[in-house]
Structure 1
Amino acid sequence: MLFINTRPVGRAKSLTQVLEQQAVEVYSLPLLELIPRLWDTDLAHLYDQLPQVQVVVVVSPSAVQFGMDQLVRSGLALSDLKHLQWIAVGQKTAQALAEFGLDSVVPEVESSEGMLQLPVLQNLADDASIAFWRGEGGRQFMMDTLMQHGRFILNFVLYERRCPHQTLQQQAELVQCLSEHNDYVALISSEASWLNWLALLDTNIQLLQKGHFLVLGERLAHILKQSQQQMYVQFKVSVLKDLKTATIVQLLCSGQGNA
């Protein structure tokens, strides 16, 4: 089996090590890298309002780090935010918050849909304010859904996401690798990752037909199925409830991971 590990460099190592121990061929291809946003007056204004919100939604460990870095710049202290309810998209994000002494709730399914089902969001007052610590383009569906229900959103865009330059340089090598295999499994953790994957294949879209894509959440699975219809290609899609190494390995070893 060929497994394409698309996680960012800092988060890919443990999954690669476990799979290689099980004799799985792993091709490392991070599809996203994160670039922190520079401090500006808009960000300063958002931080000024932060102590008055009811909930802070944090979408990744990187959002925790970048958000805390800017918190220092804002002049606020962690003690100013202790009374807020924190929501972490997954256990890794919750652990990152815990390192700053902040407790958070985590959805069972680590996706926008999973977070929207949390009682803390379901039971909010109609005029509640919610802050999002996120990257450019991330969790737009979740924010739009909450705004449609009358919630006031403070949108902290703390970093940009882009395809790493090193990955772009691997394009020809990737196409060659996929061409030499009968099938492959690829991890797709976000819509941005999927769009970068499609851009890498570009004039080799037929290689999608060899793929089995492990995707995070039902909404992302729907996006891939829309791509199938639009591009007239068929490939296999399986849904992950989280991005834990154990969850991914279990899916692969269950037989569902055989493309």
Structure 2
Amino acid sequence: MTTTKLKVLITRPQEKGRVLAQKLTQLGICASHQPLFSYRALADQYEIRQTLTLSPNPILIFVSVAAVNYAHESYPLQHWQHARVIAVGAATEKALQQYGMDNVICPQEHNSEGMLALPELADVNGRQIIIVRGNGGRELMAQTLRERGAKVNYLESYQRIWLSLPRDIPQQWQAKPINCMVITSNALLERIVELLAPLDEFWQKTCLYVVASERIAAKAKALGLQRVVNARGADDQAITGTLINLMTQITEAEND
């Protein structure tokens, strides 16, 4: 049975967003998928091999599933020489394992702070580290590791391509009517606020925003969004669990 009280918009790109929306629908949560960006490969085989040559026997840090997939597409991961491999979260770890990388290290807290707290990154003075990511992003990881004495290079395996959407997309969402959005990065948050501008009372005070971390939650509130829920993770399990809890709360409130 589908609840009419929670209508969720998933903004993740491509297949990842479609699969999550499908899972939620199967669980009785009305979900729509509207990707806001797509991916395009950025680093080619030559660039990857050159980076690996300049950073012999490195610690490899992968910050997303997309970073893994596009890196492997350009230069198969089984050819990457490395000392150890660190993944930001469980989904990224699984992607690495699918391409034959074993003994992947994964922090309990799935973000830069969680990775920096790993004992494997505590004593990195003089070590070579390659951070595999998309174009742009947070600088905390590289900055902190350099302060610890590491030699850090970025390998940007893909870039985000923001999609062109109709100017009336907020009205289309409200007509569905969308009353909950899933936002898994600051980049997505900023794009959504840009699309919704100027924020009316519904988007500012009524719509729920399920976000992936405290950092995104704080930024959402600073941008004027009032009903923000931290799922404490960007993986499907964290998002799904949070939405199920919200749906349960709505049902219980109706029955009171």
TM range (shorter): 0.7 to 0.9
Query: Unmatched 5+ residue regions in structure 2?
Result: 1-5, 251-256
Which portions of structure 1, spanning 4 or more consecutive aligned residues, are displaced by more than 6 angstroms? 256-259
How far 1:164 moved relative to its partner? 2.2
1:114 aligns with 2:110: no
Please give the residue correspondences for 1:147-162 in structure 2 after superposition, counting only pairs within 5 Å: 147-162=146-161
Aligned residue in 2 for 1:231: none
Distance, in Å, in 1 between the alignment partners of 2:244 and 2:79 is 45
Could you say if the C-alpha distance between residues 69 and 248 of structure 1 is closer, same or farther in structure 2, counting changes exceeding 3 Å? closer
- Matched residues, percent identical? 25
Please give the residue correspondences for 1:162-181 in structure 2 after superposition, counting only pairs within 5 Å: 162-165=161-164, 168-169=165-166, 171-178=167-174, 181=177
Could you say if the C-alpha distance between residues 208 and 33 of structure 1 is closer, same or farther in structure 2, counting changes exceeding 3 Å? farther
Is this contact kept in 2: 1:132–1:153, CA < 8 A? yes
How far 1:26 moved relative to its partner? 1.5
1:208 aligns with 2:204: yes
Query: Unmatched 5+ residue regions in structure 1?
Result: 229-233
Distance, in Å, in 1 between the alignment partners of 2:143 and 2:91 is 25
How far 1:189 moved relative to its partner? 0.8
Matching residue's letter, 2:62: V
Aligned residue among 235, 239, 244 for 2:230:
239
Is this contact kept in 1: 2:124–2:145, CA < 8 A? no
Distance, in Å, in 2 between the alignment partners of 1:212 and 1:98 is 35
Please give the residue correspondences for 1:59-138 in structure 2 after superposition, counting only pairs within 5 Å: 59-71=63-75, 78=78, 81=81, 83-103=82-102, 104-122=104-122, 124-138=123-137
Is this contact kept in 1: 2:55–2:128, CA < 8 A? no
Could you say if the C-alpha distance between residues 250 and 40 of structure 1 is closer, same or farther in structure 2, counting changes exceeding 3 Å? closer
Q: Which structure has more helix as a fraction of its residues?
A: 1
Is this contact kept in 2: 1:175–1:204, CA < 8 A? no
Is this contact kept in 2: 1:47–1:71, CA < 8 A? no
Corresponding residue SS for 1:51? coil
Aligned residue in 2 for 1:226: 222
> CA-to-partner distance for each residue in 1:52-85, whole Å, 9 max, x for gaps?
32x111112221122123335xxxx83551x421
The CA RMSD measured in Å over matched residues stands at: 2.6
TM-score w.r.t. structure 1 length? 0.82
Distance, in Å, in 2 between the alignment partners of 1:63 and 1:151 is 21
Could you say if the C-alpha distance between residues 13 and 51 of structure 1 is closer, same or farther in structure 2, counting changes exceeding 3 Å? same
Could you say if the C-alpha distance between residues 177 and 117 of structure 1 is closer, same or farther in structure 2, counting changes exceeding 3 Å? same
TM-score w.r.t. structure 2 length? 0.82
Aligned residue in 1 for 2:52: 47
Distance, in Å, in 2 between the alignment partners of 1:202 and 1:96 is 36
Aligned residue in 2 for 1:189: 184
> CA-to-partner distance for each residue in 1:170-209, whole Å, 9 max, x for gaps?
x41333332674x722111111111111121123454232
Matching residue's letter, 1:109: E
How far 1:43 moved relative to its partner? 5.0
Corresponding residue SS for 2:75? helix
Could you say if the C-alpha distance between residues 25 and 191 of structure 1 is closer, same or farther in structure 2, counting changes exceeding 3 Å? same
> CA-to-partner distance for each residue in 1:2-50, whole Å, 9 max, x for gaps?
1111111211233212322343222211123211115397655313224
Distance, in Å, in 2 between the alignment partners of 1:130 and 1:28 is 36
Question: What is the number of residues matched between the two proteins?
Answer: 243
Matching residue's letter, 2:126: D
